[in-house]
Amino acid sequence: MYYGKVDENLIKELKNICGSKYVITDKDQMLGYRTDETIEAEKMLRVPFPDAVVKPRFVEEISEVLKLSNKKRIPVTPRGGGTGLSGGVIPVYGGIVLSMENMNKIIEIDKENLMVVLEAGVALGDLYKAVEREGFFFPPHPGDEGAQIGGAIATNAGGARTVKYGTMRSFVKGIEVVLPTGEVLNLGGKLLKNNTGYALMHLIIGSEGTLGVITKATLKLLPSSAAPMILVVPYSNRHDAIKTVLEILRGGVIPLGIEYMEREAMERSEEYLGRKWPTEKGEGCLMVMITGKDEDEIFSRSECIMRICEANKALDIFMAEQKRDQENVMEIRSKMYEALKGDMMALFDITVPPGRMGKFMKKVEEVSEKYGVSMSTYGHAGDGNVHVHLMKTDVKKYEKIKEELYEEGSRMGGVISGEHGIGLLRIGDLHISRDRKEIELMKKIKKVFDPNGILNPGKIFPA
């Protein structure tokens, strides 16, 4: 692919469009706009600088920036909160990084239709707070609350609550999107049903910023329920824990989330934060989050889940009811990645059908033993998304381990990425989960939306 150069004239034009305050070319100031939360070792590549970072405030500006870039063939990499785990915002070909940080207004909380309309740069944490104040609840929770709505939609983010509510896709009802050629489309709306031709909106969701720049979204809300309860359930082995998860899902009481964590990851996080996990028992723990309309419902659901845990050799069932106790376990859970990151080689995001999870974990154990490497596991046990953390080892071993796990995952009907996406990181492995014809169609779709290949080039497949 041929790309044009960002020269002084182009910078001038960008400044004319967005205002000079909102166009950055100083290297120091661009430092934070090069990458995301992906492990350095895993990227195994040099992270380039963009030529400019543009921070527009209005959709019209984005449209103009894209028109200009399309004309001059300048690569444009849209960027949200930079919390991704697949290198999706790395400006591989330089050019412009389009940061959405200034488009951060919550436009409307529509109480009649239970919808929120907001700009793409709103941080998830701010969204949660805003809707909570009005008595609503927005379920998808990918983890890092610094993530932005636009990025969460572009990557169809998942997270701990997917088991009960599904991924972002289930809650996005409308988007405003700017095409790489500059046109602005409004797809969907405040509708719960919409069968009018191809669902282009759903094509944009999860397209990882390669088909258009999401600038606004309409999201479905739920009425808020009573404060959730968190159960902490230690097990002496992972198989009992995973068996419990499957039985809970079959039992009909679907919790808000079921997370599985192993001792090593917990200990690393405890040390990192200077906090203490509530129990020293067990090799692994389930963390089960339960909601309900009131305390009675929460307790009766908890009781059902307790019986299943007990039948599957749970060592104890603790209850974190107070906010500070809940915050403690949530914090230890959410900082596991950060705590392990420095010593990690790779974070696998393989997802298998939930019923195969136990078998897949067994494979992880075998591979770990075979290569003599440490692979700590934690993640969203309820939805088959097993995050395997490979600690530092040599590249050759890494390649072999990856191959074996990907192969086994595929054999079980799984995919190489459940929620982190292909981005830059898994470009070479897409063919494992998608066949040739599928990839060919994807590439053709990309061409239709982005004839000059300027938008987030080098992601999902090579530019």
Partner 1 sequence: MGHGAKDEKEFNVIVLVKQVPEAEDVRIDPDTGRLDRSSAEAVTNPFDLNAIEVANRIKERLGGKVTCISMGPLRADSTLRDSLARGCDRGILLSDKKFGGADTLATSYTLSCAIKKIGSFDLIVCGEKTTDGDTGQVGPEVAEQLDIPHACFVEEIKAITESSLVVRRKTENGYMILELKLPALISVTKDINEPPLPLLKNKIKARKAEIETWSASDLSEIGDVERFGLTGSPTRVVNVGSPHVEKETMMIEGGSSREKAKKLVDILEDLGFL
Please report, as ranges, the residues that interact with partner 1 according to CB under 8 A.
227, 231-232, 276, 278-279, 299, 302-303, 306, 316-325
Contacts 24+ apart (CB under 8 A), 282-285: 282/234, 282/235, 282/236, 282/315, 283/235, 283/236, 283/237, 283/238, 284/234, 284/235, 284/237, 284/238, 284/241, 284/260, 285/232, 285/233, 285/234, 285/235, 285/241, 285/260, 285/261
Amino acid residing at 197: G
274/268 Cα distance (integer angstroms) = 10
- The distance from CA 397 to its chain's CA centroid, rounded to whole angstroms, is 27
- Whichever of 319 and 430 has its CB closer to partner 1, that residue is 319
385/320 Cα distance (integer angstroms) = 25
Q: What is the DSSP letter of 49?
A: P
C-beta of 241: minimal distance to partner 1 in Å?
16
- Whichever of 107 and 227 has its CB closer to partner 1, that residue is 227
Angle, in degrees to the nearest 10, between helices 357-371 and 395-411:
160
Amino acid residing at 181: T
Task: With beta carbons less than 8 A apart as the criterion, state whether 407 and 367 touch.
Answer: no
CA distances from 64 to 8, 183, 371 (A): 17, 9, 53
Q: Give the torsion through C-alpha atoms of 65, 189, 448, 3, to 10 deg.
A: 20
C-beta of 307: minimal distance to partner 1 in Å?
10
Token pair belonging to 25: 């070319």
C-beta of 305: minimal distance to partner 1 in Å?
9
C-beta of 196: minimal distance to partner 1 in Å?
44
C-beta of 141: minimal distance to partner 1 in Å?
20
Site of tokens 């941080």: 123
C-beta of 162: minimal distance to partner 1 in Å?
24
- Whichever of 98 and 320 has its CB closer to partner 1, that residue is 320
- Whichever of 190 and 281 has its CB closer to partner 1, that residue is 281
- Whichever of 215 and 326 has its CB closer to partner 1, that residue is 326
C-beta of 317: minimal distance to partner 1 in Å?
4
CA nearest to 150, candidates 62, 74, 22, 69: 62
Residues linked to residue 279 through DSSP beta bridges, in sequence order: none
C-beta of 329: minimal distance to partner 1 in Å?
9
- Whichever of 245 and 346 has its CB closer to partner 1, that residue is 245
- Whichever of 152 and 231 has its CB closer to partner 1, that residue is 231
